[in-house]
Structure 1
Amino acid sequence: MLNTINRLLSLQSGSTFLAISPLRGNSLHNFINLAYRMEQTYSWTVKLIPPSDYLSSQFISYLIDESNRVQFNDSELDNKIGHLIAFTRTN
Protein backbone atom coordinates (compact mmCIF):
# COMPACT_ATOMS: atom_id res chain seq x y z
CA MET A 1 0.00 0.00 0.00
CA LEU A 2 2.86 2.41 0.79
CA ASN A 3 4.32 1.78 -2.67
CA THR A 4 0.95 2.64 -4.24
CA ILE A 5 0.67 5.85 -2.20
CA ASN A 6 4.21 6.76 -3.26
CA ARG A 7 3.26 6.30 -6.93
CA LEU A 8 0.08 8.36 -6.53
CA LEU A 9 1.91 11.17 -4.73
CA SER A 10 3.41 13.76 -7.07
CA LEU A 11 7.21 14.03 -7.08
CA GLN A 12 6.91 17.80 -6.54
CA SER A 13 7.99 18.87 -3.05
CA GLY A 14 5.03 19.81 -0.87
CA SER A 15 2.48 17.67 -2.69
CA THR A 16 0.22 15.81 -0.28
CA PHE A 17 -1.76 12.57 -0.30
CA LEU A 18 -4.63 12.45 2.22
CA ALA A 19 -6.47 9.45 3.63
CA ILE A 20 -9.02 9.01 6.43
CA SER A 21 -9.07 5.90 8.58
CA PRO A 22 -10.34 4.81 12.00
CA LEU A 23 -7.90 3.63 14.67
CA ARG A 24 -9.80 0.40 15.39
CA GLY A 25 -7.41 -2.30 16.49
CA ASN A 26 -3.67 -2.00 15.82
CA SER A 27 -3.73 -2.04 12.01
CA LEU A 28 -3.56 1.72 11.49
CA HIS A 29 -0.88 2.17 14.17
CA ASN A 30 1.22 -0.57 12.55
CA PHE A 31 0.72 0.98 9.10
CA ILE A 32 1.66 4.47 10.35
CA ASN A 33 4.76 3.14 12.12
CA LEU A 34 5.87 1.46 8.89
CA ALA A 35 5.17 4.68 6.95
CA TYR A 36 7.28 6.64 9.49
CA ARG A 37 10.15 4.21 9.00
CA MET A 38 9.91 4.67 5.22
CA GLU A 39 10.01 8.49 5.30
CA GLN A 40 13.57 8.72 3.95
CA THR A 41 13.06 5.93 1.41
CA TYR A 42 9.98 7.57 -0.10
CA SER A 43 10.98 11.21 0.55
CA TRP A 44 7.85 12.08 2.48
CA THR A 45 6.67 13.02 5.96
CA VAL A 46 3.71 11.31 7.58
CA LYS A 47 1.29 12.95 10.00
CA LEU A 48 -1.61 11.31 11.84
CA ILE A 49 -4.20 13.95 12.73
CA PRO A 50 -7.21 13.29 15.01
CA PRO A 51 -10.66 14.51 13.89
CA SER A 52 -10.77 17.24 16.53
CA ASP A 53 -7.65 18.81 14.95
CA TYR A 54 -8.89 18.89 11.35
CA LEU A 55 -12.65 19.49 11.76
CA SER A 56 -14.59 22.17 13.62
CA SER A 57 -16.78 21.08 16.53
CA GLN A 58 -19.86 22.32 14.63
CA PHE A 59 -19.03 20.19 11.59
CA ILE A 60 -18.32 17.17 13.81
CA SER A 61 -21.76 17.63 15.43
CA TYR A 62 -23.32 17.70 11.96
CA LEU A 63 -21.48 14.55 10.85
CA ILE A 64 -22.39 12.66 14.00
CA ASP A 65 -25.97 13.98 13.73
CA GLU A 66 -26.13 15.25 17.29
CA SER A 67 -26.26 19.00 16.78
CA ASN A 68 -27.02 19.67 20.44
CA ARG A 69 -23.60 18.32 21.50
CA VAL A 70 -20.33 20.17 21.10
CA GLN A 71 -17.88 17.84 22.86
CA PHE A 72 -17.14 14.27 21.80
CA ASN A 73 -14.55 11.92 23.23
CA ASP A 74 -11.76 10.49 21.06
CA SER A 75 -13.43 7.09 20.81
CA GLU A 76 -16.69 8.57 19.51
CA LEU A 77 -14.84 10.69 16.97
CA ASP A 78 -12.73 7.80 15.75
CA ASN A 79 -15.73 5.49 15.50
CA LYS A 80 -17.76 7.95 13.42
CA ILE A 81 -15.16 9.94 11.49
CA GLY A 82 -11.60 8.59 11.65
CA HIS A 83 -8.13 10.10 11.67
CA LEU A 84 -6.62 12.05 8.79
CA ILE A 85 -3.31 10.72 7.49
CA ALA A 86 -1.20 13.15 5.47
CA PHE A 87 1.77 12.02 3.36
CA THR A 88 3.73 15.09 2.19
CA ARG A 89 6.57 14.94 -0.34
CA THR A 90 9.83 16.39 1.03
CA ASN A 91 12.39 16.23 -1.81
Structure 2
Amino acid sequence: MKTDYDVIVAGGGLTGTVAAQSISYYSNQNLSILSIDRNPEMFPGRKSNPGWTCGDACSKEAVDFMTERIKVPWTSPEIEHDVKGVMAFSP
Protein backbone atom coordinates (compact mmCIF):
# COMPACT_ATOMS: atom_id res chain seq x y z
CA MET A 1 0.00 0.00 0.00
CA LYS A 2 1.29 3.44 -0.95
CA THR A 3 2.11 5.67 2.03
CA ASP A 4 3.74 8.74 0.46
CA TYR A 5 1.51 11.46 -1.08
CA ASP A 6 2.06 15.05 -2.15
CA VAL A 7 -1.42 16.08 -0.96
CA ILE A 8 -3.86 14.45 1.47
CA VAL A 9 -7.44 15.75 1.52
CA ALA A 10 -9.42 14.89 4.66
CA GLY A 11 -13.10 14.61 3.80
CA GLY A 12 -14.75 13.13 0.73
CA GLY A 13 -17.84 15.32 0.76
CA LEU A 14 -18.45 18.08 -1.75
CA THR A 15 -15.78 20.44 -0.43
CA GLY A 16 -13.09 17.76 -0.08
CA THR A 17 -13.88 16.35 -3.51
CA VAL A 18 -13.76 19.83 -5.07
CA ALA A 19 -10.41 20.45 -3.35
CA ALA A 20 -8.86 17.18 -4.54
CA GLN A 21 -10.15 17.55 -8.10
CA SER A 22 -9.13 21.23 -8.29
CA ILE A 23 -5.60 20.44 -7.14
CA SER A 24 -5.38 17.66 -9.71
CA TYR A 25 -6.92 19.70 -12.52
CA TYR A 26 -5.16 23.03 -12.02
CA SER A 27 -1.73 21.86 -10.86
CA ASN A 28 1.06 22.00 -13.41
CA GLN A 29 2.65 19.05 -11.65
CA ASN A 30 1.82 15.36 -11.59
CA LEU A 31 0.83 15.27 -7.92
CA SER A 32 -0.06 12.18 -5.94
CA ILE A 33 -3.33 12.96 -4.13
CA LEU A 34 -5.08 10.89 -1.46
CA SER A 35 -8.68 11.69 -0.54
CA ILE A 36 -9.94 10.08 2.67
CA ASP A 37 -13.31 10.10 4.42
CA ARG A 38 -14.60 8.64 7.66
CA ASN A 39 -17.46 7.05 5.73
CA PRO A 40 -15.76 5.54 2.65
CA GLU A 41 -18.80 3.64 1.40
CA MET A 42 -20.47 6.94 0.51
CA PHE A 43 -20.22 8.04 -3.10
CA PRO A 44 -17.58 10.77 -3.58
CA GLY A 45 -19.01 14.22 -3.04
CA ARG A 46 -22.06 13.12 -1.08
CA LYS A 47 -22.85 14.16 2.47
CA SER A 48 -21.88 11.33 4.78
CA ASN A 49 -23.58 12.85 7.80
CA PRO A 50 -26.64 14.96 6.86
CA GLY A 51 -26.80 18.21 8.77
CA TRP A 52 -23.05 18.34 9.40
CA THR A 53 -21.20 19.45 6.31
CA CYS A 54 -18.48 21.87 5.29
CA GLY A 55 -19.76 22.07 1.73
CA ASP A 56 -22.79 24.19 2.54
CA ALA A 57 -21.05 27.28 1.17
CA CYS A 58 -19.60 25.88 -2.07
CA SER A 59 -20.12 28.13 -5.05
CA LYS A 60 -22.20 27.19 -8.07
CA GLU A 61 -18.95 27.27 -10.06
CA ALA A 62 -17.46 24.62 -7.76
CA VAL A 63 -20.54 22.41 -8.13
CA ASP A 64 -20.50 22.86 -11.93
CA PHE A 65 -16.77 22.04 -11.98
CA MET A 66 -17.38 18.79 -10.09
CA THR A 67 -20.36 17.85 -12.23
CA GLU A 68 -18.12 18.12 -15.28
CA ARG A 69 -15.10 16.39 -13.68
CA ILE A 70 -16.74 13.31 -12.15
CA LYS A 71 -20.01 13.30 -14.11
CA VAL A 72 -22.25 13.39 -11.04
CA PRO A 73 -25.07 15.95 -11.10
CA TRP A 74 -25.77 17.27 -7.62
CA THR A 75 -29.40 17.63 -6.68
CA SER A 76 -31.35 17.93 -3.47
CA PRO A 77 -30.56 17.15 -0.67
CA GLU A 78 -26.91 17.84 -1.58
CA ILE A 79 -27.90 21.28 -2.86
CA GLU A 80 -30.51 22.61 -0.48
CA HIS A 81 -30.20 26.40 -0.76
CA ASP A 82 -28.79 29.00 -3.09
CA VAL A 83 -26.11 30.67 -0.95
CA LYS A 84 -25.86 34.43 -1.50
CA GLY A 85 -22.98 35.07 0.90
CA VAL A 86 -20.99 33.73 3.80
CA MET A 87 -19.91 35.39 7.03
CA ALA A 88 -16.97 33.76 8.84
CA PHE A 89 -15.69 34.43 12.34
CA SER A 90 -12.39 33.20 13.71
CA PRO A 91 -11.37 33.13 17.38
Is the structural similarity TM-score above 0.5? no
Structure ranking higher in strand proportion: 1
- Flag the structure with more relative contact order, 1 or 2, with Cα contacts below 8 A and sequence separation at least 6: 1
Please give the TM-score of this superposition, normalised by the length of structure 1: 0.31
Q: Which has the larger Rg? A: 1
